């Protein structure tokens, strides 16, 4: 666990059993066969017609390479609000700015293990992002292999019928999002007060 942060190193927030912040660790060192619980986020991007942007992870990714998944994932930096991290990551991975970012599943968390034993172990609030005009995408090839706009209801049906057609976190999130209603633009927005403590009350790194 890092007490102080080295310049130029990307860190993630480590979480305790109550999803409270307990420290930091370099992102490059976190994912392995004993991945510690840490803070992340997932985003589902829609246009104003309700079309959903599905992505395929770059084949160079350490976890679930080349697998279809939700629009964007990432890790908030220490002391960074997850909604701000969503906007930043959408810009970095897809080259776009969104019109709004809204919390929909504040307390989602999951574990998943790849066949080679590498684990994901994340406290992962889920956000909906919306663009008023479908943008020109500029995917970062180190992060995203391909993208496509799809009908949300058809995507949900596909994932519910075949959860292994997408990343394990996406499959679990779609199952949790489904009860919110068939129109993703009408999902209720959760309050930030519902976020886990690691996202709501971030530790401030030492200088």
| CB-based contacts of 183, cutoff 8 Å, min separation 6 | 50
pLDDT recorded at residue 1 = 44
pLDDT recorded at residue 204 = 67
93 is catalytic: no
* Model pTM score: 0.94
- Taking only the tens of pLDDT, the chain with its 207 residues reads 445 678 888 999 999 999 999 999 999 999 999 999 999 999 999 999 999 999 999 999 999 999 999 999 999 999 899 999 999 999 999 999 998 999 999 999 999 999 999 999 999 999 999 999 899 999 999 999 999 999 999 999 999 999 999 999 999 999 999 999 999 999 999 999 999 999 987 676 655
pLDDT recorded at residue 5 = 76
pLDDT recorded at residue 3 = 53
pLDDT recorded at residue 2 = 45
152-161 vs 168-177: helix axis angle to the nearest 10? 120
Determine which one of 93, 120, 122, 143 is catalytic: 122
| CB-based contacts of 185, cutoff 8 Å, min separation 6 | 46, 48, 50, 130
73 is catalytic: yes
pLDDT recorded at residue 99 = 85
Determine which one of 73, 120, 124, 170 is catalytic: 73
User: How far, CA to CA in Å, does 72 sit from each of 60, 81, 114?
Assistant: 16, 16, 20
Coil, helix or strand at residue 156:
helix
Under CATH, what is the fold of the domain 11-183? Nucleoside Triphosphate Pyrophosphohydrolase (3.90.79)
Rounded to 5 degrees, φ, ψ at 201 are -130, 70
């Amino acid at each position: 666990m890092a007490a102080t942060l080295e310049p130029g190193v990307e860190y993630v927030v480590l979480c305790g059993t109550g999803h409270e912040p307990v420290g930091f660790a370099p992102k490059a060192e976190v994912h392995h066969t004993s991945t510690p619980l840490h803070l992340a986020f997932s985003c589902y991007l829609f246009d104003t017609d309700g079309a959903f942007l599905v992505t395929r992870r770059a084949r160079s990714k350490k976890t679930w390479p080349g697998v279809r998944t939700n629009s964007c994932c990432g890790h908030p930096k220490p002391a960074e609000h997850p909604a701000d991290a969503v906007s930043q990551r959408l810009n970095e991975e897809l080259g776009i700015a969104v019109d709004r970012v809204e919390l929909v599943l504040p307390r989602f968390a999951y574990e998943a293990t790849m066949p080679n034993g590498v684990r994901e172990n994340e406290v992962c609030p889920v956000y909906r992002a919306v663009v008023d005009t479908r943008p020109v995408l500029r995917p970062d090839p180190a992060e995203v292999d391909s993208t496509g706009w799809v009908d949300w209801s058809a995507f949900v049906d596909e994932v519910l019928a075949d959860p292994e057609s997408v990343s394990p976190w996406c499959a679990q999130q779609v199952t949790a999002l489904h009860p919110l209603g068939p129109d993703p633009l009408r999902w209720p927005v959760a309050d930030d007060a519902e976020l886990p403590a690691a996202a709501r009350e971030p530790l401030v790194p030492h200088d």
